[in-house]
Structure 1
């Protein structure tokens, strides 16, 4: 039996509706189309969690258009990850996606046992040519993080910004550094409070950490984790989102967000599997802005509230990022608070 594949009323209705839609729209054409790729997702956190939600969303979208047949497991512990990987491989899945940050070696050992299965995994490490069926990806959304920093830098009055992250790993560090660089474009004297809560999903702890930063003078918070925007909302200050757009939940709080779009990454893998050309590669580039992997969320409720000087710089830098004339630095080192 596969590990805890969640079947909820929401999932049932979604997949049923998608199936009905595909039958209705494509009819006989499906007989000539490639069979959907049997695909599994394995996640160590709930699919509602920011980072994983973007992978899950892209997979559901691919299933709706008939490219994959998708099932998933969530809340899989790192110690159980290899077993679940193996079970999905044994069940006939030909593409397995997930995140192996806490189970790197074990996951690669399983992949070596199933050379006919394509593994596309979030990883802090690079691909290994000796393991040709194991590709890696990461959320390289530093482009949009930098742009969101420009907006934050224009909105802070105290010149003190608080930043709450999960763990100081490359995929978090690079986004924080890019955000900080953007903020300094507007004010080179801005100071930053930086803290990591040691968890990917602990909203109460993130909220508590954010409260301490507000007490210490921060008037804008970088919400890398859930819980930070709650603190900002309660204290009446602003926040900048990460990976997903939460402005609808915090309409008077979240000014801007750097959004991650996993679709370009997954679609590339699907095409390679369909063509029989999937191999070890670094899919990180498909998260770049010029590849459609990241965007700055619409200002929404903050339209007309962001200084025009900042908006002009955002537009100028975004155009330059897209045409390749400006590159946001990728700095994976752990960021620290201003001295």
Structure 2
């Protein structure tokens, strides 16, 4: 079932304008009248409270509240319905369509070719292709923050036995897990990892049961790539590291740190490009990097003062180097395995 919602119909007299992305020969004719906000539609295969979709949704809502865009969205859209919903929004004249085409890569591109005057900014496992000049791609490249959260996890784990529960072993998940594991090994080279994928983007009960099994097998720290993992950690009295969003308020004695994704810089870049009339096939994943403001560590909150100072010093050192471009966290898209 697909549900449709509309948010942020406010307008302001003058929209942002900037040079945006560099113009090239493959410019598409997406241009905006100065007094009108850009019309944006989001298409999500999961509820908007889910981590990944939720960050896109929050950024769009914020942009609508600023008067930069008008925003409508569809959630719980099945992959089989996805191309149809894309066409519906394009037919309505929506200027920018946001979403996730991981499960419908080829079908989505067929839609893109049929609507050359519509800008599409989609989460994808593939790089931009000039053949689809109005399709820009992105992903949550928050490996920088995941690496830093791993340093904290390694310092807080007493046994060095760490459980990791993911949705699917696709590049978008794999790279964050590998970065986290690399961070752990900075302070606990001997750490061992239990890695499992539940085959779903939103199945908290299954994620919880998988986490329970890892705790039974000795894990005292869990990497909560999916909802449900922190519930298991809380019930069993072990610690967890969050992903994409900050859930410490819900698990104040459990979630030590979280690697956060901010979709705001990505959306801002797209808005600027459309305003400048030069939206094109480009890799917007770069705006998720920490040095671009797209990734960060959540505040320590209830764990302030509980994390070893040498670990915090290492986090601060590595974060400064990342932001200065002096240190790069490796992007490893291969499937991680248990130790």
User: Tell me, what secondary structure is at the counterpart of 2:259?
Assistant: strand
CA distance in 1 between partners of 2:132 and 2:173 (Å) = 26
- Report the CA distance shift for 1:112/1:251 in structure 2 as closer, same or farther (over 3 A): same
CA distance in 1 between partners of 2:276 and 2:144 (Å) = 31
Per the alignment, residue 202 of structure 1 pairs with 203
- Larger relative contact order (Cα-Cα within 8 Å, sequence gap ≥ 6): 2
CA distance in 1 between partners of 2:57 and 2:218 (Å) = 37
User: Tell me, what secondary structure is at the counterpart of 1:78?
Assistant: coil
How far the C-alpha of 1:29 sits from its partner, in A, is 6.1
Per the alignment, residue 271 of structure 1 pairs with 272
Q: Which runs of 5+ in 2 are unaligned?
A: 16-32
CA distance in 1 between partners of 2:152 and 2:125 (Å) = 29
TM-score of the superposition, structure 1-length normalised? Answer: 0.93
CA distance in 2 between partners of 1:159 and 1:70 (Å) = 45
Verify the 8 A CA contact 2:149 2:259 in the aligned structure 1: yes
- Runs of 4+ aligned structure 1 residues displaced above 4 Å come to none
1:292-311 → structure 2 map (5 Å cutoff): 292-311=293-312
1:314-333 → structure 2 map (5 Å cutoff): 314-333=315-334
Q: How many residues align?
A: 321
User: Tell me, what secondary structure is at the counterpart of 1:259?
Assistant: strand
CA distance in 1 between partners of 2:71 and 2:115 (Å) = 19
How far the C-alpha of 1:300 sits from its partner, in A, is 0.2
Q: Please provide the CA RMSD for this pair.
A: 1.3
Per the alignment, residue 289 of structure 1 pairs with 290
Per the alignment, residue 45 of structure 1 pairs with 46
* 1:147 maps to 2:148: yes
User: Tell me, what secondary structure is at the counterpart of 1:121?
Assistant: strand
CA distance in 2 between partners of 1:216 and 1:325 (Å) = 39
Per the alignment, residue 78 of structure 1 pairs with 79
How far the C-alpha of 1:275 sits from its partner, in A, is 1.0
CA deviation profile, 1:8-34 (whole Å, cap 9, x unmatched): xxx6xxx47xx3xx6xxx6x668x953
User: Tell me, what secondary structure is at the counterpart of 2:315?
Assistant: helix
How far the C-alpha of 1:124 sits from its partner, in A, is 0.5
1:203-242 → structure 2 map (5 Å cutoff): 203-242=204-243
How far the C-alpha of 1:126 sits from its partner, in A, is 1.0
Per the alignment, residue 93 of structure 1 pairs with 94
Per the alignment, residue 29 of structure 2 pairs with none
Verify the 8 A CA contact 2:162 2:194 in the aligned structure 1: yes
CA distance in 2 between partners of 1:214 and 1:336 (Å) = 17
CA deviation profile, 1:177-209 (whole Å, cap 9, x unmatched): 000000000010000000000000000000000
How far the C-alpha of 1:4 sits from its partner, in A, is 2.8
Per the alignment, residue 182 of structure 1 pairs with 183
Q: Which runs of 5+ in 1 are unaligned?
A: none
Verify the 8 A CA contact 2:14 2:35 in the aligned structure 1: no
CA distance in 2 between partners of 1:307 and 1:39 (Å) = 45
* 1:6 maps to 2:5: yes
How far the C-alpha of 1:274 sits from its partner, in A, is 1.1
CA distance in 2 between partners of 1:138 and 1:199 (Å) = 18
TM-score of the superposition, structure 2-length normalised? Answer: 0.93
CA distance in 1 between partners of 2:35 and 2:56 (Å) = 23
CA deviation profile, 1:82-114 (whole Å, cap 9, x unmatched): 000000000010100000000111111000000
* 1:34 maps to 2:35: yes
CA distance in 1 between partners of 2:63 and 2:101 (Å) = 22
CA distance in 1 between partners of 2:177 and 2:279 (Å) = 32
